[in-house]
Amino acid sequence: MEFDIKDLGLAEAGKLRIEWAAQSMPVLALIEERFRKERPLDDVRLTACLHVTTETGQLMKTLKAGGAQVALCASNPLSTQDDVAASLVEHDQIPVFAIKGEDNDTYYSHIQSALDIRPHLTMDDGADVVSVLHSERTELLDEVVGGTEETTTGVIRLRSMAEEGVLRYPIIAVNDAETKYLFDNRYGTGQSTIDGIIRATNRLVAGSVFVVVGYGWCGRGVSMRAQGMGARVIVAEVSPVRALEAAMDGFSVLPMEQAAPLGNFFCTVTGNIHVIRKEHFLAMKDGAMVSNSGHFNVELDLDSLADVSVSRRMIREFVEEFEMPGGRRIYVLGEGRLINLAAAEGHPSSVMDMSFANQALSAEYIIKEGKTLENKVFSVPESIDKDIARLKLKSLGVEIDSLTAEQVKYLSSWEMGT
């Protein structure tokens, strides 16, 4: 079996960490149990390009239990947990191509290696596999039945491919399931981003000014958690509706230009390019700490920061100091890559339980239905979404009401009013 990881000697440590994650993934465990019996993915070759974390490890084991032959590569050069990669190779015989800190060329060569299994299914986090398949590995496209996509950024890329008519197989947008984005994007990103910033800097959040750029589900989560730790939160946003929502959620809302001189912490979660750029860096105060928790490392214009700064050095792991003319210092965390995965461990397992339950069930669905689907981006079927919510509630010991017959009738009738 071919693989490319940092060190097989890390396998035992990785196995324990995967076991720890699995304890908070009861929904995925139920799916694994059923998959083991029913083998819905028998003979399916699956290339997964995901953050190589303990939770992803548990997902790979679930897919394998369902009969799939999986190959795994990283969806970000800095997010790989090398011990997890080692454990999957050593204990589960899953070929992994991922090393934390790999350079761009290695990152893409790892995607190529994971594609060498000639997948029937692809599982993406950011659409890099789809993009490589449609540009450099088109000879493999005929065998692909379908794919899934984990993240907002990837879904946006794939929808634009579908609109241009160039998407060659159907995709299930796992990101858009309610049991995904309402929890993973909000509570997952909220907690893990603050965790990454704190692990990188060990600075006090209480009493600070924390600027969140973007008020989508991730931005809502980061703002909520920064406020919960005692920061005064400023939101910068381009959508009038979201800005209004941020204001009514109790946050200050300012254009970046006005927020730049005020912040101690900055975090971008927009999915867009250069939302913090030269003029903002030039306005920041001494000691400002700038990070990104959006999928790609494009949100901070670090080239312009390098241009205007007089010197730079790594001052501690994940913290690069840029000295500005006049002596002010700006700190860039985790090279501007996803700070929650670069400096911390990504979203906690309990929330990935739902995201990855969606992945596993969408993989099963697309193998059943893929040949009948057009080459478009589809939602996760509502029945899957609702089932996952029900199972998660059950695992949390939370009971809920159901509608009475009278209420069902009322909701379906238009005659009954006052």
Where do contacts with ligand ADE occur on this chain (CB under 6 A)? 50-51, 53, 55-56, 341, 346-347, 352
| Complex with ligand ADE: residue 140 or 198, whichever CB lies closer | 198
Q: What's the closest the beta carbon of residue 355 comes to ligand ADE, in angstroms?
A: 7
Q: Are 269 and 212 in contact (CB under 8 A)?
A: yes
Closest CA to 87 of 112, 115, 58, 113: 58
CB closer to ligand ADE, 300 vs 354: 354
Of the two residues 56 and 208, which places its CB atom closer to ligand ADE in the complex? 56
- State the minimum distance, in angstroms, from the CB of residue 64 to ligand ADE: 17
Q: Min. distance of Cβ 368 from ligand ADE in angstroms?
A: 25
> Shortest distance, CB of residue 339 to ligand ADE, whole angstroms?
11
* Residue with Cβ nearer ligand ADE (70 or 352): 352
Quick one: how far is CA 406 from the chain centroid? 42
Nearer to ligand ADE, 356 or 378 (CB): 356
Q: Which is nearer to ligand ADE, 64 or 277 (CB)?
A: 64
SS3 letters across 62-114: HHHHCCCEEEEECCCCCCCCHHHHHHHHHHHCCCEECCCCCCHHHHHHHHHHH
Closest approach, Cβ 54 to ligand ADE, in A, equals 7
Q: Report the alpha-carbon angle 233-237-242, nearest 5.
A: 95
CB of 345 to ligand ADE, least distance (A): 6
Shortest CB 189 distance to ligand ADE, Å? 7
Pick 284 or 298: Cβ nearer ligand ADE: 298
Cα–Cα distance measured from residue 341 to residue 192, given in angstroms and rounded to the nearest whole number: 8
Enumerate residues 6+ apart whose C-beta is below 8 A from 201. 289, 319, 331, 333
DSSP-assigned letter for residue 159 = H
The number of residues in the chain equals 418
Residue 144 to residue 131: CA distance in whole angstroms? 14
Q: Which is nearer to ligand ADE, 70 or 330 (CB)?
A: 70
CB-closest chain residue to ligand ADE: 346
Are 185 and 216 in contact by the 8 Å Cβ rule? The answer is: yes
C-alpha 362, offset from chain centre: 17
Nearest distance in Å: CB 346, ligand ADE: 3
Q: How many CA atoms lie within 13 A of 362 on its CB side?
A: 33
Q: Compute the CA torsion angle 253, 257, 263, 266 (nearest 10 deg).
A: 90
In angstroms, the CA 96 to CA 49 distance is: 10
